[in-house]
Structure 1
Amino acid sequence: MKLSKTYSENSILDDIKAGGSQLNKALGFMYSSYYGLLESIILKNSGNEDDAADVIQDTFLAFVKMVQDGRFRKEAGVKSMLYSIVRNLWITEIRKRKSTQNRHEIFEQGNDVEVEGVSVEIEKIENQKLILSLFESIGKKCKSILISFYYENLSMKDIMEKEDFSSEQVLRNKKYKCLKSLIEKVNGNVILAKSVKNALQND
């Protein structure tokens, strides 16, 4: 897709808010314009191309969510915001992999754009990944119900029809059992339980 050189940041934001084909246009522009820069951040700091692809995908998803939720207030430009998000996501991943502090000390102390909401969005991403992995462990039907309710924001009526339940009450009973199973998975782990609670509240 050939994109105009006059595609402004305001146009990017407007298209993201519009959704649909306009959102795809904005994402296409951001991928073609910023992917190389964002990838270089990962590659220069112990990551590989697969790492970069995963983190950049999460970065764009986080940015789109911020714009659509009205939490991007233009305190930084689009490019700076994407840089900040990808950098913080990669630092989080590095820490998760228990890399040595000295190896990444310069990277973690580098200059960065302080933007309100970035750390919140990163926490959401991490919590969502945790939740989805837990959903996998409680069965296919439970996973489908909970994703439909918490992530797709479907009504109980819509989920009932989608999952072929005989009534909303039967569905509510099943959802309750699914959540009970989820709670049992994290029972006794305060940190894990808190992350689960935060993820479900955020969505």
Structure 2
Amino acid sequence: MKKVVVNFSDEELIEALKQQQVSNMAIAFLYRNYYGVLSNYIKLNKGSQQDAEDIFQEVVVNFIEIIKAGKFRSESSIKTFLFTLNRFTWLNELKKRSRTLAREEKYEDDSEVDDRDLSHFLVERESKNMVVAMMDKLGETCRKILLAYYYDNFSMKEILPLVNYENEQVLRNKKYKCLKNLEQILAADPGLSKRFKSALAYGH
């Protein structure tokens, strides 16, 4: 039996991905049209074939979640959005590996690891959870900007494609407003403010 190939416009694909049960034809379309270019980006940037497959699967899952949540803004094409999401996901993965490698090298150098190392790790993890929870109160855009800037150490240029602002100055203005909103939340609770500043110090 001949395999049926279905093509979608951006609008049709978005509608197909919004459905409670996403059709196999929509998934197949994503793989057929975008896997090649996205996997090539991974392989050209220190990734293996397996990395390319894993990242693409993650990108597809995240993209579908974004569509279902109604958070995809159609100012950019699906291809542009997927490329940005693919790049962001891979950069995050590289940074995680870099941090892991650095921790492993440090562990090998330090033959004596005391309880303070473990307690610091636990405090750091809890601190990041607290920071992320606070960022969530500011809304999706502010959370994305501030976490990318403070935790992922992204530059304004790297953050720009993630939020689809016109230029870096507009992004800086938004970041400033996000921080002012955060200050207002913290000002209402001095105890929370002190814990948050300690948490940010650990995470930064």
Q: TM-score, normalised by structure 2?
A: 0.49
Computing the radius of gyration over CA atoms, which structure comes out larger, 1 or 2? Answer: 2
